[in-house]
Structure 1
């Protein structure tokens, strides 16, 4: 990873996609007006991407006031890096702001993402469109040297880039309305709409059936309607786009059968009600809330009454079930208890994803939305995202390295920053491996990952740091130095996988156990 850094302001689909695509190559900072983010972290970055919303106003034009607010803030704080506006703006906006903010280095680089596939499309773009001074353009493009050589880099003036972005979405709208018009004609004459459109698809000049397939219904979403409106209201009468909008207004919404995955959250807890309260609060604040939260506790836990009160409080906000651990009194037993209940509540286990949260950790509000979306984009069975470690030395948090590749050997002698709290797994896969190993007092996450890989369960890595890990060494934790349970878990794990380890991996495992936890691992075979 090189020394230059980037920032992202505005953490929606585009903002987090930028983080996903660039964070493996450059350190980064993020900021959004909603959430627990630090503005000053942005000021220390070398380049910042503006991804704030620009909704349509009452007159049909794009409201770019959020972009102006950010530019005001950056100008006031004398930000010296490149400012890359990725938000869609109205025609003429860029010419205005470069005059209004002469001290700022402003580049326009509109994004062309499919909303449902924003992570994967940013990582594999169709084109890069950019406008600004030659020096600033070269600086910005240096962050995209990883893009495949065949991807066109389209440099143009501000007006062309502004209209080009709007024209792209207007073209999508035109295709949708054309398809809906043809479908209406087919219904009028008793023709088969799919047969008719197959004639279009067969043309060598038509490269994709997207937006040209019957049963689309009207175009919608966050971007296409407002961008079409910007063109419609930007000047003279737009005859074609007016017709496109007219067809869209007359098209009935299709009732589509969707099978959104069920998302459940499991929080095992043991005598830490203050931390549990923080953990559940972070779940209840998610942009995408889980269908159910399972809080699992031993019936003899001294904090049982306090936990009941916490569950009752959050139960007015979100679906929370408090269940007693009916298996081994450890983390694995608690998780397996929840998995049993989840199977009873949601029998189609292949359509259920399990998110596990340690009771002393917490999530960024975008965690469940982003990992759920990425699971759908990639078709993966489990998703790993990044940890932010909080300890006495880094109370504000330190981003941990996210593994580029997930293999069994990566877990044999170390933990590649994967823990229960950043593990998002298909329930059917967890059932297939028999759940968590209740003989393990610790290292449960590493063991689960190895066994998931053993059954060819497919992982994917989301390059967003969304999970806050509380590693305060001043309180008693499972991973505290000299912890008896940690020692038992490490020894059992070593015994279980010793024969699969190379000699070097065995030695590294022992050394890490001694260095980090002062635990001596014995050879038993």
Structure 2
């Protein structure tokens, strides 16, 4: 059976990780073979590593520092390269430091992997705001077109992918401010070799950040840049209707108008043709 390696990118926010993601990992009914924790902005101290390792008990911890472009994508890619080198025939299971897995998450992904033949297994996600479930996203039969106009349910914390496939697509797009999950999904599906299976149950709790400075806050300048970047990368794949749907979603979710996004795109030489 394929090993499962847990991958976490953190800034670091170790208190948040210890409170949320870490208990989720140690309470899995199928324990991972290792945990790879990538700190974005600084090395972890020996004391910090030792404390985390003691909490993980017998699960080996590999604490790395982001060696790529600063940000989540660079941190994930640092981990993906390490995992592909040290655990080449493995599944990478990503969890954000502030999200939660249900105890059966990893065992459910493995049970639905068709004995390891799947190179992607997607579980459902509970969207949580203020400890309440406001939506349940359970992906099924996903296509590239789904991700051009939204996200049917493939995000960071339910990413369960063979290390070989994650490496094949070059990991995540570094420098992309938002939409990392959608961009990654599109590029994985475009390989034509993705064998995607589904658990059909929600075993991930996505804790939505509702702070005023959150990336997804209405009118966020970072989100504006992220929307323009995504359009530059994938706008050429959209039909006219899909592009209008993309702009409508950006307005409804983030209060960003079509004019705002196109202006941002043109400001730094982008091209949405």
Identify the TM-score tier after normalising by the shorter chain: 0.7 to 0.9
What's the offset of the Cα at 1:316? Answer: 2.9
What's the offset of the Cα at 1:500? Answer: 0.6
Q: Does 1:352 align with 2:75?
A: no
* Aligned twin of 1:334: 75
Which structure 2 residues correspond to residues 58-207 of structure 1 after superposition, within 5 A?
A: none
Q: Does 1:477 align with 2:214?
A: yes
Q: Does 1:492 align with 2:229?
A: yes
Following the alignment from structure 2 to structure 1, what is the Cα–Cα distance between the partners of residues 33 and 150? 34
- Picking from 407, 411, 419, the partner of 2:147 is 411
Q: Please report the TM-score for the alignment, with normalisation by the length of structure 2.
A: 0.87
What's the offset of the Cα at 1:378? Answer: 7.4
What's the offset of the Cα at 1:313? Answer: 3.1
What's the offset of the Cα at 1:367? Answer: 0.3
CA contact (8 A) 2:41 2:70 kept: no
Q: Which runs of 5+ in 2 are unaligned?
A: 266-270
Following the alignment from structure 1 to structure 2, what is the Cα–Cα distance between the partners of residues 309 and 471? 30
What's the offset of the Cα at 1:486? Answer: 2.7
What's the offset of the Cα at 1:311? Answer: 1.9
Following the alignment from structure 2 to structure 1, what is the Cα–Cα distance between the partners of residues 52 and 214? 23
Q: Does 1:466 align with 2:207?
A: no
What's the offset of the Cα at 1:377? Answer: 4.3
How many residues are treated as equivalent by the alignment? Answer: 260
What's the offset of the Cα at 1:403? Answer: 2.6
Distance 1:381 1:311, change over 3 A: same
CA contact (8 A) 1:297 1:304 kept: no
Q: Does 1:361 align with 2:99?
A: yes
- Picking from 62, 65, 77, the partner of 1:321 is 62
Runs of 4+ in structure 1 displaced over 4 angstroms? 303-307
Q: Which runs of 5+ in 1 are unaligned?
A: 1-259
Q: Please report the TM-score for the alignment, with normalisation by the length of structure 1.
A: 0.47
CA contact (8 A) 1:354 1:424 kept: yes
* Aligned twin of 1:449: 185
Distance 1:378 1:326, change over 3 A: closer
C-alpha deviations, 1:426-463, integer Å up to 9, x for none?
A: 11111111111113121111111111111111111211
Structure with greater proportional strand content: 2
Q: Which has the larger radius of gyration?
A: 1
What's the offset of the Cα at 1:475? Answer: 6.3
Following the alignment from structure 2 to structure 1, what is the Cα–Cα distance between the partners of residues 243 and 114? 37
* Aligned twin of 2:42: 300
What's the offset of the Cα at 1:476? Answer: 4.3
Q: Does 1:384 align with 2:122?
A: yes
Following the alignment from structure 1 to structure 2, what is the Cα–Cα distance between the partners of residues 317 and 481? 43
Q: 1:403 is paired with a residue of what secondary structure? A: coil
What's the offset of the Cα at 1:399? Answer: 4.6
* Aligned twin of 2:30: 288
- Picking from 164, 178, 183, the partner of 1:428 is 164
CA contact (8 A) 1:386 1:399 kept: no
CA contact (8 A) 1:314 1:320 kept: no
